[in-house]
Chains A and B, each alone.
Chain A
Amino acid sequence: MRDRMQEAIKRSKADYSEIRIEEKESTRIAYQGKDLENAGTVLDKGGIVRVLVRSKGWGVATFNNLDDLATRVDQAYQCAQVASSPEPIEMAEVEPVEKAITVKMKLDFRNVSLAEKKALAERQNDILRGYSDKIIDTFSLYVDSFSRVTFANSQGTFIEAERPSVALAAVAIARDGDNVQQAHKTDAAPAGFEYVLEKEELAKQAARRAVELLGAKRVMGGQYPVVLDPLLASVFIHEAFGHLSESDFVYENPKAREMMVLGRQFGKELLNVYDDGSIEGLRGTTLYDDEGTPGRRNDLIKDGILVGRLHSRETAAKMGERPTGNARAVNYRFAPIVRMTNTAIQNGDSSFADMIRDIELGIYACDAYGGETQLENFSFSSGYAYMIRHGQIAEMVKDVILAGNLFMTLANIDLIGNDFRWISGAGGCGKANQANLPIDCGAPHIRIQNVVIGGES
């Protein structure tokens, strides 16, 4: 394959050409309620050619039939000809590299029988279902996938990378009359079958929470001091801030550039945020991104000041900065775009007790249940929450939706916990139709003053 890829690239008439071939085998077992929904394996194999004609633009061809790569390169070249970028498109320099990245799983899931994987998902499902007769529906999921991605470009880079992934998800839905509540827990890693063994706690927690939520009251809308748990804090920093630091958002948008100007004060001095694609064993780790740029730690907010952003080779060249290793594609059907890897709020020094001690009336919001952002405006649902009364965690509340302005909210972070952790959730990030890109995010508990909580007041 290497020869065929390099041969096809050599014949390209474009200024820059790359080919990425991906072969993926994925096993999925899903239980829904008492039923096994699916236990099976799918095979996905295909490729993408991306070329740049500097004075015109990008051309892309994707395909499942790998027989004639030279024709695909030519198709992509024809596509690039119709583009009409007003200025020439440049790519920042990256050292060419030849590398084969192989992984060793402690317990290779490709050698584990479908029966054993099924038993594991079934065990989780039994725990969910058996927890309470209020649990009316469950979802228990086991997914593994092993991809082999081969990348070659016209600048001499050739990378073969193996990417394993294993994930569990447990969802419990509880009902009491018209009151229906749900809770979910997930866990995932670029690892082997060993990672998902002895994870019964996952199902137990999801079931317990769904039942607890039945007794929770709807939160009263208003402004509160809010403490976010590490999960919600990390999803918040990924969604509300992280996406704004992706340079494809700012690089052709003068207004956004103004908003995201380096050196701008984004928070109090205690706030530090970074993205790091080089940490071993995390879900967003790339080692090399899908343009062949090595992953590394990129500081985004340092001591409250905006100091960096995430780049592809194109955005880096456009903004006169270094590529950061953040050009990623979810699979061979897509060209890489600027994406996060592992994004985090750095550990602070407050204990959880310190954070709630002086709150007369506030909210402790946990777990994320989805969210959306539009530039600096965001809206997030927490999975469950508690009132904080007189410095103590009080009753559970539901339907806690945080809405607000990113800059005001970041500036209102006044305490950062000392209990940092990576979340390693099974979901992924979605952007520009490229959904479920593996990422990780992490944070300690954080406290934010004056958060607007939606709902009836």
Chain B
Amino acid sequence: MDILNQLKTQAEQVEVLRLQNEQTSVKFEANKLKTSTVAETRGTAVRVIRQGKLGFAASSDDTALDKLAANVLESACYGDEVPLRFPDPGPFAPVRIFDRTVADLPIARLVEIGEEILDLILPVEPEARCNISLTRSVQSVRIRNQTGLDISYQRSPFSIGFEIDRIVGDDVLILYNMFGTTVWDDDYLAFARSLVEKLKLARRIVPIKGGNMPVLFSPVGTLALAIPLNEGLNGKNVYKGTSPLIGKLGEKLFDQKIGITDDGTIDGKFASAPCDDEGVPHRRNVLVEDGRLKSFLYDLKTAALFGVETTGNASRGLFNPPEPSPTNFMLQPGQTPLKAIIARIDQGILVEDLLGIGQGNVISGAFSNPLSLAFKIERGEIVGRVKDVSIAGNVYELLRNVAAVSQEAQWVYSTFYAPYLLLPEMNVVAKG
């Protein structure tokens, strides 16, 4: 018997999530293609509410569904009482996340794309060692519950992850990033071109003296500021009481120029889907507007605990119960062209990437990182790379006063969208 129908006779509420994934990937290591992989995964996760108590179990073994059913009922015996209700069906956001072109990409084409990227980088930087992994997948998701909700969708994620290092003598430069999409993008080499530009710029090393100066964060560098915000905006951390944003809804906490949204309904984006992992329709959520805190991110459980509506931000892997999590997390672009921002900096730095982003007491907003790639800006121009430099500060203090936000913005690590952001003054520590 179907596990949903079987469990419906034994529990008030039942949710069945079925995941299937079929994936091909090729991996270039040190500029050479050495390994190719096909992966097929499948599994079922079940939640029930029985006598008011929540239970969870999951299995990747399709031959042991009886055991799965027994496990979820046992789990519910010991579960907490949670006032949550699995959602009624839809209406679901129409969002484009499946593309035949991606789904049908043959393994030979993945290899070819990898070689095209190497052909861009290696002539310019013969010393570079590139690890590039290219992956295409077809994911099938089906979520059902006792209300009659039954949604299935397919996604076709395509991603290019890369790690490039260049070691010359004692000088080490390592760059990471990931490009991801769910519909074919003809300009899949754009990120590789911008990488080459960074590598070129980084060749000239210039000295720098520490002190207070304007600091411009690139879209990748902005992650150092966004990760604490991401944690602080998570409904689970607010419920736990650890978010510094607790009790501050509606307050103006940041500079007027700061806007943050989370949107799982953008066509083709990596974290887009018609609904979240509990079958709740995805939507665009405004989290910060003109510096004012508007909303947190919730799933069913955290929303129920707060007595509010879920924002459709439940996220889960097969083996874990859902938790609130951002989809496509976006720091809104601003009004100023990047060129104009740089032009008005007399003496400052551009932070391209930091070492150890997300470590330490992230939730507090504090960060302290060495810069793995940073440039010196002098009289309105980028003059060269600076080394052995670090910055420290607290996001919640720093973002109260932002000098400029660029018009230009980029997707980094597939699901984070950010502009360049200029802080008027930060303490920059330079060694030597």
For A115, the chain B residues whose CB sits under 8 A away are: 78
Known interface pairs A46-B60, A374-B172, A454-B368; A399-B361 also in contact (CB < 8 Å): yes
Interface string of A83-108 (1 = CB under 8 A from B): 11110010000000000000000000
A333 touches B41 (CB 8 A): yes
Most B CB contacts (10 A, CB to CB) among A26, A85, A137, A377 go to: A377
- The answer to whether A1 has its CB under 8 Å from any CB of chain B is no
For A114, the chain B residues whose CB sits under 8 A away are: 74-75, 77-78
- The answer to whether B250 has its CB under 8 Å from any CB of chain A is no
Shortest C-beta distance, A66 to chain B (Å), equals 9
Compute how far the CA of A73 lies from the CA of B174 in the bound complex, rounded to whole angstroms.
36
Shortest C-beta distance, A164 to chain B (Å), equals 18
For B368, the chain A residues whose CB sits under 8 A away are: 399, 401, 454-455
Please list 21 pairs of residues, one from A and one from B, whose beta carbons are closer than 8 Å in the complex, sorted by A's number: A36-B79, A40-B57, A42-B57, A42-B319, A45-B64, A46-B60, A57-B33, A57-B36, A58-B35, A62-B38, A62-B41, A64-B61, A79-B107, A82-B108, A137-B242, A173-B240, A333-B39, A370-B358, A375-B172, A401-B368, A403-B390
B32 touches A377 (CB 8 A): no
B79 touches A372 (CB 8 A): no
Shortest C-beta distance, A213 to chain B (Å), equals 9
B172 touches A377 (CB 8 A): yes
Complex A-B, nearest 5 residue pairs according to Cβ-Cβ distance, in ascending order: A40-B75, A370-B359, A255-B167, A79-B36, A372-B356
Given contacts A65-B42, A82-B33, A118-B78, list 16 more A-B pairs with CB under 8 A. A40-B71, A41-B75, A60-B38, A85-B32, A86-B32, A89-B34, A137-B241, A173-B240, A181-B361, A182-B363, A252-B30, A252-B129, A335-B37, A372-B356, A381-B361, A403-B355
For B34, the chain A residues whose CB sits under 8 A away are: 57-58, 83, 85, 89
- The answer to whether A452 has its CB under 8 Å from any CB of chain B is yes
A456 touches B427 (CB 8 A): yes
- The answer to whether A37 has its CB under 8 Å from any CB of chain B is yes
B390 touches A182 (CB 8 A): no
The contact of A379 among B77, B364, B370, by CB within 8 Å, is: B370
Known interface pairs A35-B80, A180-B363, A452-B431; A335-B38 also in contact (CB < 8 Å): no
- The answer to whether A111 has its CB under 8 Å from any CB of chain B is no
* Range, interface on chain B: 35 or more
Most B CB contacts (10 A, CB to CB) among A32, A36, A75, A118 go to: A36
For A59, the chain B residues whose CB sits under 8 A away are: 35-37
Shortest C-beta distance, A255 to chain B (Å), equals 4
- The answer to whether A44 has its CB under 8 Å from any CB of chain B is yes
A80 touches B32 (CB 8 A): no
Known interface pairs A180-B242, A369-B359, A370-B360; A375-B174 also in contact (CB < 8 Å): yes
Compute how far the CA of A437 lies from the CA of B392 in the bound complex, rounded to whole angstroms.
31
For A255, the chain B residues whose CB sits under 8 A away are: 167-168
- The answer to whether A175 has its CB under 8 Å from any CB of chain B is yes
- The answer to whether B374 has its CB under 8 Å from any CB of chain A is no
Compute how far the CA of A80 lies from the CA of B355 in the bound complex, rounded to whole angstroms.
35
For A160, the chain B residues whose CB sits under 8 A away are: none
CB-CB contacts below 8 Å: B234-248 with A: 240-242, 244
Known interface pairs A82-B36, A83-B34; A175-B359 also in contact (CB < 8 Å): no
For A403, the chain B residues whose CB sits under 8 A away are: 355, 370, 390
A83 touches B39 (CB 8 A): no
For B57, the chain A residues whose CB sits under 8 A away are: 40-42
B172 touches A79 (CB 8 A): no
Compute how far the CA of A178 lies from the CA of B37 in the bound complex, rounded to whole angstroms.
48
Main secondary structure of the interface of A (DSSP, over half): strand
Known interface pairs A32-B240, A41-B75, A374-B372; A381-B41 also in contact (CB < 8 Å): no
Interface string of B14-55 (1 = CB under 8 A from A): 000000000000100110111111111111000000000001
Which residue on chain B has the smallest CB distance to residue A452?
A: B431
Compute how far the CA of A64 lies from the CA of B41 in the bound complex, rounded to whole angstroms.
6
Compute how far the CA of A390 lies from the CA of B431 in the bound complex, rounded to whole angstroms.
27
* Range, interface on chain A: 35 or more
For B361, the chain A residues whose CB sits under 8 A away are: 180-182, 369, 381, 398-399
Shortest C-beta distance, A303 to chain B (Å), equals 25
Interface string of A363-406 (1 = CB under 8 A from B): 00000011110111111110000000000000000110101000
Compute how far the CA of A35 lies from the CA of B302 in the bound complex, rounded to whole angstroms.
12
A43 touches B240 (CB 8 A): no
- The answer to whether B401 has its CB under 8 Å from any CB of chain A is no
Task: Identify the A interface with B (CB < 8 A).
Answer: 23, 26, 32-33, 35-46, 57-65, 75-76, 79-80, 82-86, 89, 114-115, 118, 136-137, 173, 175, 178-182, 221, 252-253, 255-256, 259, 333, 335, 369-372, 374-381, 398-399, 401, 403, 452, 454-457
B62 touches A64 (CB 8 A): yes
CB-CB contacts below 8 Å: B345-388 with A: 355-361, 363-364, 366, 368-370, 372
For A65, the chain B residues whose CB sits under 8 A away are: 40, 42, 62
Compute how far the CA of A456 lies from the CA of B394 in the bound complex, rounded to whole angstroms.
11
- The answer to whether B111 has its CB under 8 Å from any CB of chain A is yes
Which residue on chain B has the smallest CB distance to residue A382?
A: B360
Shortest C-beta distance, B427 to chain A (Å), equals 6
Most B CB contacts (10 A, CB to CB) among A38, A84, A179 go to: A38
Compute how far the CA of A61 lies from the CA of B39 in the bound complex, rounded to whole angstroms.
6
For B58, the chain A residues whose CB sits under 8 A away are: 42-43
Compute how far the CA of A457 lies from the CA of B125 in the bound complex, rounded to whole angstroms.
38
Which residue on chain A has the smallest CB distance to residue B24?
A: A79
A43 touches B36 (CB 8 A): no
The contact of A39 among B26, B32, B35, B78, by CB within 8 Å, is: B78
Known interface pairs A35-B80, A42-B319; A57-B35 also in contact (CB < 8 Å): yes
- The answer to whether B72 has its CB under 8 Å from any CB of chain A is yes
For A137, the chain B residues whose CB sits under 8 A away are: 240-242
- The answer to whether B407 has its CB under 8 Å from any CB of chain A is no
- The answer to whether B56 has its CB under 8 Å from any CB of chain A is yes
For A456, the chain B residues whose CB sits under 8 A away are: 392, 427
Compute how far the CA of A377 lies from the CA of B41 in the bound complex, rounded to whole angstroms.
37
